[in-house]
Chains A and B, each alone.
Chain A
Amino acid sequence: MIDSPHVTPLRRRDLGTPPPASPSATRVHLTIDGIAIEAAVGTSVMRAARDAGINIAKLCATDSLNAFGSCRLCVVEIAGRRGLPASCTTLVDDGMVVRTQTEQIARVRRNVMELYISDHPLDCLTCAANGDCELQDMAGAVGLREVRYGMEGATHLALAKDESNPYFTFDPSKCIVCSRCVRACEEIQGTFALSITDRGFAAKVSAGMSESFLESECVSCGACVQACPTATLTEKTVIEAGQPDRVVKTTCAYCGVGCSFRAEMKGNDVVRMVPDMDGGANEGHSCVKGRFAWGYASHRDRVLAPMIRDSIADAWRTVGWDEAIAYAAARFRSIQAQYGHGAIGGVSSSRCTNEEVYVVQKLVRAAFHNNNIDTCARVCHSPTGYGLKQTFGTSAGTQDFRSVAQADVIVVIGANPTDAHPVFAARMKRRLRQGAQLIVIDPRRIDLVRSPHVQASHHLALKPGTNVAVINALAHVVVTEGLANEAFVAERCDAASFEQWRAFIARPEQSPEATEAFTGVPATELRQAARLYAGARNAAIYYGLGVTEHSQGSTMVMGIANLAMAAGQLGRDGVGVSPLRGQNNVQGACDMGSFPHELPGYRHISDGATRGTFEQAWQVTLDEEPGLRIPNMLAAAVAGQFRGIFIQGEDLAQSDPNTQHVTDALRAMECVIVQDLFLNETAKYAHVFLPGTAFLEKDGTFTNAERRINRVRPVMPPRTGQFEWETVCRLATAMGYPMAYNNAAGIMDEIAALTPTFAGVSFAHLDRVGSVQWPCTAAMPIGTRIMHEDRFVRGKGRFMLTQYVPTDEKSNRRYPLLLTTGRTLTQYNVGTQTRRTKNATWHAEDVLEIHPHDAEMRGIGTGDGVLLSSRKGSITLHAVVTERVPAGVCYTTFHHPDTAANVITTEFSDWATNCPEYKVTAVEVRPVD
């Protein structure tokens, strides 16, 4: 059952052209068709008219793309001007008198439409775009009744359809050459895969070098499909299902960008997902995963009923919910009876909603009576939470995504946005094309270093594991060359910590010249990069797991924070320190009290006042001792003290490091409860399997990397028969702690009541305003775009000493290469979802990238099978010889369970948070037959 449907119109209003590029407060007055209109300077006549409800005809114009002026349907008459100017490319002027309808205009528009239709198939009734075709609409609008040219002339009707892309078709016979697809590829996505080839009547849309869409450099973001006004580019699902009959706005469940989507539905089936122009994170854009890779939700592998078994050697037995819950509760209770309260724990998921995560931590704290709650953020961004809290006072990024549009210098550290955060990367590339300068700090030559119309000013290709030495060297240059923003530091930062840090960072051993030998970054290049960053009007840092997943992950985060404070690049638009979050709700999972030492809102469990608030609300006594982290739970399990675990939406056995250790721990437990969509790797060791809900069935909120709380609305009822939070509540109740909510909104109301930074959040409020960025309170009802604007949350920004300590994981004679890991565009994390979609077309297997020099020494060529070994284990995969990786470094992804990349990763982890050191493993690579 789904509560209160949020009604969204089927078609959105298109104002034809974007708002003025540089918003102006100056307004002008004009009349359009006799109606007095006021508009901002820089607004097009078309937008001003459409805003006032006068829908001037158009085909090549759409408000997501710059005005182009090619279709000539939008011509108008302007008093005192010659001819018929196009209203999309003509800007409003004070006193302008516009007429949008005259006999002559009507004739010209009808004749233009007649030209279009003289080269268009007359198959409207059987066309996939029937009912959603702007060409059809315009033919109607201008009153086209006849094509006097006949259909005997030259046409494109015989051109063949390109069906190579798994998700959409390209039918050039229906193309009107409006270039909306080409412009979307350039302006929105920035891939430049599409162009118009030939000219005049022969002009046509072409992918790559006149290749098929699949063979071209197209990244299948779908911006072209969305931009197409006809059936030329159409989702295959629309061809199959026809037009949607209702729309539900919801939020993507892949990466931490958190794109808003319109789920266009037919009954309870998704027809297509269309990114929402009103979405604060994505403003109408999406990537191949969010837009297209949602089919896993109805994949046949999905488990829809609970299952139990006594031993992992037994076969699964499908049971009803009541039996499964009773069985799980009984086993957990018996473990606690025998081994004590602390012998069980839970893991929440960054893939689940805030409400689901909240009830899981409540289950652990209130029903298990311990604090053994951890989350998969442990293995990705826990150092972010720690490092930014220590320095700024808040465990979150400082900016919203929109802020990048004001940055003059962009620093990307250990992140690969074009693959892992493609929608944000598109924004970033847009800014780079406008002239912002880019510094990339990454061992690999990621696509951003050089791609169409983007080129990094500096690529600091550091050796894996030397992050802290490089960030310290950058700060050293800032401090010793007098580039520090003394005024900012004096006003905003803690003076004592700064003085101490200044002395520390100015030491000669921090200098780029001293560190060059082991970081591999040339000192002169590093100095230039430091000057560029510190000297910029606005410089912004974006970082990813290449920063956090190291033994010094937390140190590096603090090092970044130090640098930003020293340079005064904080607290306004265009600057800041922004983690690019891996999971859709990793921010939210952390916010919701998923860590063993913190209650929701990052308040320490030992704080009596906070604990008291929760105790009173929950009517239970809470343990004041922090509980176990995942690695502690696993270690305790191997030691026999930890016997039962509830894991919601995480595949520990595939995603956590040192697989052997993880599976040993799971095997040692008496009761492993897994709640997931699929029987994942961890489920092999489970005794209870509780089916979970896909994001399309969830009701709740996700919080993205910019602290934006977005509504996740169920577009269809849960196929399992209940929401995941209901399952958790039933388990808690069965364990003896009654827990119940009327709906997910009720959970958020409780979160808001107990968490100051969420005080202003409710579903009703979100339905009204779209989304908010926390902190959201009565005083700041739409939240906080940019953090630390006037002062740091902790008061004064605190500089932390960041001594570089080399990792213990070092290359040696036996393991001479360093392996680092990452993601690819079309796949997501361990691939549970994306492998069950047609995204598998692009990435059928994980491969090992190896430098030509290292490959040649070992007799390895592209496509060869190789054995990749660390001191922890070995795996086999195919090699790709490429200069994207420097000599001495190799790289792979971990999307396929067959690859089992974590068989070889080590137990080393961040000193502060235990975030695993995925990014550095000493390995050897050998050819195999």
Chain B
Amino acid sequence: MTVRIYVPNDTGARSVGADDVAQAIETQLHAHSVDAVVVRNGSRGAYWLEPLVEIDTADGRVGFGKVSPEQALSLFGAGVMPSTSHPLSIGLVESLPWFRDQQRLMFARVGIIDPLSLDDYRAHGGLTGLQRALTLGGQAIVDEIRTSGLRGRGGAAFPAGIKWQTVHDTVADQRYIVCNADEGDSGTFADRLLMDADPFQLIEGMAIAAIAVGATVGYIYLRSEYPHTARIMERALLLARESAILGPSVLGSAHGFDILLRIGGGSYICGEETALLESLEGKRGVVRAKPPLPAVAGLFGQPTLVHNVLTLAAATGILARGGAHYASLGVDRSTGTMPFQLGGNIQRGGLIEVPFGITLAELVEGFGGGTASGRPGKAIQVGGPLGAYLPLAQWHTPLAYEAFAAVGAMLGHGGVVVFDDTVDMGEQAQYAMEFCAHESCGKCTPCRIGSTRGVEVIGRLRRGEASKKNWQLLDELCETMELGSLCALGGLTPMPVRSIMSHFPGDLLSSARVGAPAEVAV
């Protein structure tokens, strides 16, 4: 029987040499006429193990971690399958605690299937959500989503059910589904991994949404920095059309729906939903004032359901297993699971999907194994570049929307970046403002001018210039940006800055240390 050897083909694994590894294995198999085939799956998201080569065995899939092309040549050197006693072997992949302790819903198929095989997709539960949706019809689908308690996974965590209901209820000739795949937060990659490794799930999720709200056209707005993902999605869309998942009659039903892939203009702000819509309309990516909400007047002025990749993907599982099942997971109003993306100075980084509620420490130390440097951790930034830096004292905070809001932090899109004790938090504060200045669309004043002034004021603070006055100024600037900005970019930039002002004031003041933090804090 032909042996299946898996080498991931997603953007992340390829960036650490997966293509060369696959090539090396192919060379050896060919040279030794081995009855085996290399399957290019998607990564399972265990980036600390990539390139992760897996071999089908009677017991399950055996993994070999961090395989270099040279090692790949030697692994299959004699034309025989390497054994679990090989130094690179990690044994049965699914037995690894890192995987075993996760509860993967959205990412259940990721890394296991061939991303572009609809047979694989179906064999692993794909399309059951859509099939059920077709039997339910619009309002009943919306009700399932409402029951699930699903909240937007892009960062704002707005209750998805309300959005679906609004689009569903708004009278219009045309409605749209827009998938926000402009994943721009540093330290995040869940959208990319899902599209690379399980693209049909997104398509299915969008089709469910379309049937629910009565949309006939969907757009995926994909960031330009994901060219490989674009190729996979384009191919997946083609296959979906060929199999009537998309098209004039979705799975033979009376519903017509198609999806168009659009590549973004390379601007972070286009991940903001209204700027994204502007960009989709062919205009500059500039934030729109709300109201009107996109759900009422979005793309081309029509009711538009704008969701992040993960939110739409989650809909497939919710429809397949029911909203109540989803709602039974998690804590409080943070229902279901969340794919956290663990990175930075960490031993075992990658995608960890768990129900809401485990603590930050459990994630970082349990799954992540502490810092890669081995030095003590100092701060963890959660929620991307606009998220707060949590000091050690807050690492016991449960990963849930409410718990994080309570400590002045947010989960955002689930990015978790770990820093050890060598980090200069003053530099991080300045970077937060620099990031905003670099990415600001320039529409509203607090963000456009404020972020540049923020960089300057923090610079002065770090140089020890008139610290007390500048500290007060920075505090007021943060308030102005937070309350005054048009969108979340300017509005959230103060979050990391303020977390540093609160928890690491010493780093923000100059080396001269003019005045102790306690004296200058207001």
Where the two chains meet, the residues of A that have a C-beta atom closer than 8 Å to any C-beta of B are 67-72, 75, 83-84, 86, 88-91, 104, 107-108, 111-112, 115-116, 118-119, 148-149, 153-154, 176-177, 179, 195-196, 198-203
- Return A731 CB to nearest CB of chain B, in Å: 62
By beta carbon, the residue of chain A nearest B439 is: A200
Given contacts A104-B479, A115-B445, A118-B449, 14 further A-B contacts (CB under 8 A): A69-B444, A69-B486, A71-B444, A72-B445, A108-B483, A112-B446, A112-B484, A116-B449, A118-B453, A119-B449, A149-B457, A176-B445, A200-B448, A200-B451
Chosen A-B contacts, 11 in total, with CB atoms closer than 8 Å, are A69-B289, A72-B485, A83-B483, A89-B289, A90-B291, A148-B473, A200-B441, A200-B451, A201-B451, A203-B443, A203-B448
Where the two chains meet, the residues of B that have a C-beta atom closer than 8 Å to any C-beta of A are 267, 269, 284, 286, 289-291, 437-453, 456-457, 469, 473, 476-477, 479-480, 483-486
Decide: B440 and A199 in contact? CB cutoff 8 A: yes
Kindly list chain A residues whose C-beta atoms are within 8 Å of the C-beta of B473: 148-149
Decide: B291 and A115 in contact? CB cutoff 8 A: no
Decide: A89 and B437 in contact? CB cutoff 8 A: no
Decide: A112 and B445 in contact? CB cutoff 8 A: yes
Decide: B453 and A115 in contact? CB cutoff 8 A: yes
Decide: B483 and A84 in contact? CB cutoff 8 A: yes
Could you count the A-B residue pairs with CB atoms below 8 Å apart for me: how many are there?
108
Q: Residue A201 contacts which of B267, B443, B452 (CB distance < 8 angstroms)? A: B452
Kindly list chain B residues whose C-beta atoms are within 8 Å of the C-beta of A89: 289-291
Q: A153 with B456: in contact, given A75-B483, A108-B479, A200-B439 (CB under 8 Å)?
A: yes
Cα(A203)–Cα(B267), bound, Å: 14
Decide: A84 and B486 in contact? CB cutoff 8 A: no
Decide: B469 and A149 in contact? CB cutoff 8 A: no
By beta carbon, the residue of chain A nearest B438 is: A200
Instruction: Say whether chain A's binding surface is mostly helix, strand, loop, or mixed.
Output: loop
Q: Residue B456 contacts which of A84, A90, A149 (CB distance < 8 angstroms)? A: A149
Cα(A72)–Cα(B486), bound, Å: 8
Kindly list chain A residues whose C-beta atoms are within 8 Å of the C-beta of B289: 67-70, 86, 88-89
Q: A201 with B437: in contact, given A108-B479, A112-B480 (CB under 8 Å)?
A: yes
Decide: B483 and A199 in contact? CB cutoff 8 A: no
Kindly list chain A residues whose C-beta atoms are within 8 Å of the C-beta of B450: 115
By beta carbon, the residue of chain B nearest A153 is: B456
By beta carbon, the residue of chain B nearest A179 is: B443
Decide: B446 and A115 in contact? CB cutoff 8 A: yes
By beta carbon, the residue of chain A nearest B447 is: A200
Decide: A201 and B449 in contact? CB cutoff 8 A: yes
Decide: B479 and A201 in contact? CB cutoff 8 A: no
Decide: A104 and B483 in contact? CB cutoff 8 A: yes
Kindly list chain A residues whose C-beta atoms are within 8 Å of the C-beta of B451: 200-201
Decide: B442 and A200 in contact? CB cutoff 8 A: yes
Kindly list chain B residues whose C-beta atoms are within 8 Å of the C-beta of A119: 449
Q: A148 with B442: in contact, given A72-B486, A89-B290, A107-B476 (CB under 8 Å)?
A: no
- Return A842 CB to nearest CB of chain B, in Å: 29
Kindly list chain A residues whose C-beta atoms are within 8 Å of the C-beta of B453: 115, 118, 149, 153
Kindly list chain B residues whose C-beta atoms are within 8 Å of the C-beta of A72: 444-446, 484-486
By beta carbon, the residue of chain B nearest A154 is: B452
Kindly list chain B residues whose C-beta atoms are within 8 Å of the C-beta of A176: 445
Decide: B469 and A75 in contact? CB cutoff 8 A: no
From B453, B477, B486, name the one whose CB has the most chain A CB atoms within 10 angstroms: B453
Cα(A112)–Cα(B477), bound, Å: 9
By beta carbon, the residue of chain B nearest A82 is: B483
Cα(A91)–Cα(B451), bound, Å: 29
Kindly list chain A residues whose C-beta atoms are within 8 Å of the C-beta of B269: 199
Kindly list chain A residues whose C-beta atoms are within 8 Å of the C-beta of B484: 72, 75, 84, 108, 111-112
Kindly list chain B residues whose C-beta atoms are within 8 Å of the C-beta of A70: 289, 443-445, 486
Cα(A111)–Cα(B484), bound, Å: 10
Cα(A118)–Cα(B480), bound, Å: 15
Kindly list chain B residues whose C-beta atoms are within 8 Å of the C-beta of A75: 483-484
A-B pairs, top 3 by smallest CB distance, nearest first, are A203-B442, A69-B289, A200-B440
Cα(A195)–Cα(B267), bound, Å: 18
Kindly list chain B residues whose C-beta atoms are within 8 Å of the C-beta of A104: 479, 483
Cα(A909)–Cα(B477), bound, Å: 73
Q: A202 with B444: in contact, given A89-B290, A115-B480, A153-B452 (CB under 8 Å)?
A: no
Kindly list chain B residues whose C-beta atoms are within 8 Å of the C-beta of A90: 291
Cα(A900)–Cα(B392), bound, Å: 88
Cα(A107)–Cα(B442), bound, Å: 22
Kindly list chain A residues whose C-beta atoms are within 8 Å of the C-beta of B444: 69-72
- Return B330 CB to nearest CB of chain A, in Å: 23
- Return A321 CB to nearest CB of chain B, in Å: 61
Kindly list chain B residues whose C-beta atoms are within 8 Å of the C-beta of A148: 469, 473
Cα(A859)–Cα(B445), bound, Å: 57
Kindly list chain B residues whose C-beta atoms are within 8 Å of the C-beta of A202: 442
By beta carbon, the residue of chain B nearest A116 is: B445
By beta carbon, the residue of chain A nearest B482 is: A83
Cα(A83)–Cα(B289), bound, Å: 14
- Return A48 CB to nearest CB of chain B, in Å: 15
By beta carbon, the residue of chain A nearest B480 is: A111
Cα(A119)–Cα(B447), bound, Å: 14
Kindly list chain A residues whose C-beta atoms are within 8 Å of the C-beta of B267: 199
